[in-house]
Amino acid sequence: MQYISYKNVLIFGLIIGLLLSVNQCTNNKKIAACQAIVFTDTTNHYKNELGTITATKKVLELEKNKLKDLLYSKDETLNELRKDFSKVKTITQTETNVVIDSVIVPFETKTACDFTRNGKQFDKWLQFDYSLSQSSFEISNFTMLNKQTTITGFKRKWFLGKQTYTTDVTNSNPYVKTIDVQTVQVVVPKRFYDTRLFNIGIGVIGGMLLVR
């Protein structure tokens, strides 16, 4: 009887291990399939309920050990920013382009002489054409690029210090300033059949039925 008991325990253990391995393999295949879809996904735009335009794109899910090869090694700025965090939860990078066709500022009082001055302002962060005359000042073809990096994760002042859940927003353009940040995370509880305990229980029951 003692030999049979040990044998049953061994069988149960093997079945549980097999079920967990299959479950992990299935999850890995799902993640890999999702990653392949997201890598080929493009940013789409649609008109939302407010009447403005929303940019949307699928979320890329990566394991921690793959972040270095796929993100940190290719983006030096991102690699430096993430070092402030002990654990990174999400990274969002957005690129925006402010475009203004033209802005005319008429003068209340015209100058006595007629004149016109035209020119261009061009640097890394913004570009525009300008025109100045005796009656107005005009800016046209205004564009300003900005790349915004948002990192949410845990920070701690020292190795054993208290962790603080934080969101950092960094703009590449020095003319752009983020004046307020609010992050809300919705915690979705796991359903009982998605828990590891449930999977182990199913493995034990399945093993007992097979032994019988």
Take residue 143 and report the two structure tokens written for it: 């564009």
The whole-number pLDDT of residue 126 equals 93
The whole-number pLDDT of residue 94 equals 93
Other beta carbons less than 10 A from residue 151's beta carbon:
21
Q: Burial, 82: exposed, middle or buried (Cβ in 10 Å; 0-12, 13-18, 19+)?
A: buried
The whole-number pLDDT of residue 157 equals 79
pTM value > 0.85: no
The whole-number pLDDT of residue 69 equals 76
Identify the CA nearest to 172 among candidates 139, 127, 126, 140.
Answer: 126
Identify the CA nearest to 190 among candidates 198, 201, 180.
Answer: 198
pLDDT tens track, the chain, 212 positions: 444 455 565 566 666 666 666 555 555 555 555 555 555 567 888 999 999 989 988 777 777 777 777 788 888 888 999 989 988 899 999 999 999 999 999 988 887 788 889 999 999 999 999 999 988 999 999 999 999 999 999 998 777 778 889 999 999 999 999 999 998 888 766 665 555 655 655 555 555 544 55
The whole-number pLDDT of residue 34 equals 54
Q: What is the DSSP string of 20-41?
A: HHHHHHHHHHHHHHHHHHHHH-
Q: What is the DSSP string of 41-108?
A: ---EEEE-TTSSEEEE-PPPP--HHHHIIIIITT-HHHHHHGGG-SEEEEEEEEEEEEEEEEEEEE-S
The sign of the torsion formed by the CA atoms of 30, 33, 38, 41 equals negative
